[in-house]
Structure 1
Amino acid sequence: MEKLSCIIIDDEPLGKEVVESLVKDIPFLNLSASFNDPVHALTYLQENTVDILFSDIQMPKINGMELLNSLVNPPMVIFITAHRDFALDGFDAGVVDYLIKPVRFDRFLKAVNRAKERISMNTSPVIPQSNTDKIFVKSEGKLIKILLSEILYVEAQGDYLKIVIPSGDYSTQLTLKSMDEILSQPNFFRVQRSFILNLEAVRSINGNTVELTNGKSISIALNKKDELFALLGIK
């Protein structure tokens, strides 16, 4: 079996040693490097390719989320931290898993297997076309063509995205952040943490809830309401 390369970042020496020990107990992992300083790790990641990054979040100089967001082509990321507060932001950014210290081996192995599965499938699950009016989505082993104009909304659901069109919906492995970049067109808007909607599909707005043409109701994040109204031409 070909081994997966990984690195570890933790400013606490004991925390780093614990993760190093966990990695050594998994035969298909190869530890390429280990860092106490996240800045040195960032330099390494900019110059080298690795499959999996194990990282603490709360670190000096640059935290784990900032490091992840600064990478153009990030590896699979598993956060291992004593802090629960960043879990939602982590998953929103496409993190594979979020482990709370102290980490049990079985829980660590589950996260690593999830990363391994994603890597094995990682010939991009959504393929945008050069004319930007359609995408091909990998769903249930098939490539399915979806016109962007048909998309009513996109919803984050754990490790998957649900792309909804009038005739049905498709689940695919991709982060909402990546889909937001693909749908960087004036008629698409990220209305809250878990949803991107097609403005052409908006039927009505009631308070902080938008209703789409298929009857789906989606809550509007308070900090997004003014921008949504502006895009819809509502004064």
Structure 2
Amino acid sequence: MEKLKCIIVDDEPIARDIIESFITEVPYLELKASFGESAKALVYLEENAIDIVFSDIEMPKFTGLELAQSLTNPPVIIFITAHRNFALDGFETGASDYLVKPVRFDRFLKAVNRAKDYLLLKKTASVHQINSDRIFIKSEGKLIKILLNEILYVEAQGDYLKFVINGGSYTTLGTLKAMEEVLKLPMFFRVQRSFILNLEAVRSLNGNMIELIDGKNISVALNKKEELYQLLGIK
């Protein structure tokens, strides 16, 4: 299976080292970055697609709970804490699990297996590609046909995807990461964490803001801007 991309957020270097060593023992996990400050992790998460975040709760300036609450489309979050009484607060922010320090490998593995099963469930059965020009999505209890050239954009909304087409929209369970395997170049481009655009739907550009033909304004991630301009033939 495709590896699940992870990051670690903890102000204690030893704690980060332990989780890093655990990740290397799990074949389906891939560590993409490790942060000692949650504010830096937030910037990274806004511009990069990550499957699992291992985050300490208690951190100076910007806590793990505040990090989770700041994310518009959060990945799976597994909190790490030295205090069991913080667990309830963690679950209220949408965390999938919590690990108590010192973290045992067997407990770590149980948490990531649960996260893996959840992510696999999200990726399957909600979107069906029939051929190269159309898909069917499960929405409102039925299968709805959408022609790819009708799609203006797809927006991630928590565990769901919103497909906006000419004349309407539909919502279904799924992830943008899974949709990138269906909505590809040269027609579609993921401009930031929460949006995949049909390049033909772009009406105008102003700095890092995109206006679409339906009037929707979307920001482009800084690390995607140059590629977007090139795809649109702008030098």
Normalised to the residue count of structure 2, the TM-score between the two structures is: 0.58
Please name the residue that 1:196 is paired with.
196
Instruction: Give the 5 Å matches for 1:37-186.
Output: 38=20, 42-46=24-28, 77=52, 79-82=54-57, 95-99=75-79, 101=81, 102=83, 104-107=86-89, 111-112=95-96, 122=122, 124-186=124-186
SS at match of 2:131: coil
Measured in 1, the distance between the counterparts of 2:77 and 2:19 equals: 22
The aligned length equals 185
Which residue pairs with 2:4 in the alignment?
none
| Contact 2:129–2:182 (Cα < 8 Å) also in 1 | no
Say which SS state the counterpart of residue 200 (structure 1) adopts: helix
Alpha-carbon distance between aligned partners in 2 of 1:134 and 1:117, rounded to the nearest angstrom: 28
Contact 2:78–2:96 at 8 Å: present in 1 too?
no
Native 8 Å contact 2:130 2:136 kept in 1: no
Structure 1: 5+ residue stretches without partners: 1-8, 16-35, 47-56, 60-73
Q: Counterparts of 2:168 and 2:200 in 1: how far apart (Å)?
A: 17
SS in 2 for 1:182: coil
Q: Which amino acid aligns with 1:97?
A: I
Q: Give a deviation string over 1:182-205, Cα, whole Å, max 9, x none.
A: 212311111222211100111122
Distance 1:122 1:204, change over 3 A: closer
- In the alignment, the residues of structure 1 paired with residue 89 and residue 143 of structure 2 have an alpha-carbon distance, to the nearest angstrom, of 33
Task: Report the alpha carbon displacement of residue 214 of structure 1 after superposing the two structures with TM.
Answer: 0.9
Matches within 5 A, 1:11-26: none
For the residues of structure 2 that align with 1:37 and 1:118, how far apart are their CA atoms?
A: 21
**Please, what TM-score do these two structures have when normalized by structure 1?**
0.58
The one-letter code matched in structure 2 to 1:96 is V
Contact 1:92 1:193 in 2 (8 A): no
Aligned partners of 2:182 and 2:135: how far apart in 1? 9
**CA distance in structure 1 between the aligned counterparts of 2:73 and 2:211, rounded to whole angstroms:** 26
Greater RCO between the two (CA within 8 Å, min separation 6)? 2
RMSD, aligned α-carbons: 4.5
The gaps in structure 2 that reach 5 residues or longer are 1-7, 29-33, 37-49, 98-113
State the match for 2:226 in structure 1. Answer: 226
Alignment partners' CA distance in 2, 1:233 and 1:171: 32
Alpha-carbon separation, structure 2, partners of 1:85 and 1:125: 36
